[in-house]
């Protein structure tokens, strides 16, 4: 069965959730740090950038350049945020997972992650 153009995978979900948590300061390293802190797994910047590039191409994310900084040798950070369609797609995807889980309460964990109710 072909995947819908609006469907996202688990990695995409996690990255999108991290970007929402970090808004408006989600850039490569901060996204990686958030993911590693929350998932207790290692994430490569290459895999994160590949995913955000794909998500941006699909219209789920948009990027903006920050100001050049001396500590980055004059380079700019690229910040990411979800678009309206990105938020709707993430919500739909998380809702589908909730339905598959039979409302066991596990879906609420992802929603708490987004809304900031899940603190370490």
Per-residue model confidence (pLDDT) at position 73: 93
Q: Hey, how many other C-beta atoms are within 10 angstroms of the C-beta on 47?
A: 14
Q: What is the pTM of this model?
A: 0.81
- Residue 38 Cα distances to 35, 59, 68, 118, angstroms: 5, 25, 29, 10
pLDDT tens, N- to C-terminus, the chain (120 residues): 445 678 999 999 999 999 999 999 999 999 999 999 999 999 999 999 999 999 999 999 999 999 998 988 999 999 999 999 999 999 999 888 877 776 565 556 666 666 555 444
Q: Give me the domains of the chain, ranges plus CATH numbers.
A: 10-111 (1.10.10.10)
Distance CA 84, CA 37 (A): 26
The SS3 assignment for 39 reads helix
Q: Are 18 and 31 in contact (CB under 8 A)?
A: yes
Give the per-residue pLDDT at 119: 45
């Amino acid at each position: 069965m072909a995947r819908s153009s609006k469907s996202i995978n688990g990695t995409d979900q996690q990255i999108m959730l991290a970007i929402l948590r970090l808004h408006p300061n989600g850039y490569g390293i901060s996204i990686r740090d958030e993911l590693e802190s929350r998932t207790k797994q290692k994430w490569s910047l290459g895999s994160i950038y590949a995913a955000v590039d794909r998500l941006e191409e699909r219209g789920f994310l948009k990027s903006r350049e920050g100001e050049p900084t001396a500590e980055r040798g004059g380079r700019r950070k690229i910040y990411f945020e979800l678009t309206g369609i990105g938020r709707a797609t993430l919500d739909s995807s998380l809702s589908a997972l909730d339905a598959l889980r039979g409302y066991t309460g596990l879906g609420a964990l992802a929603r708490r992650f987004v809304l900031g109710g899940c603190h370490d």
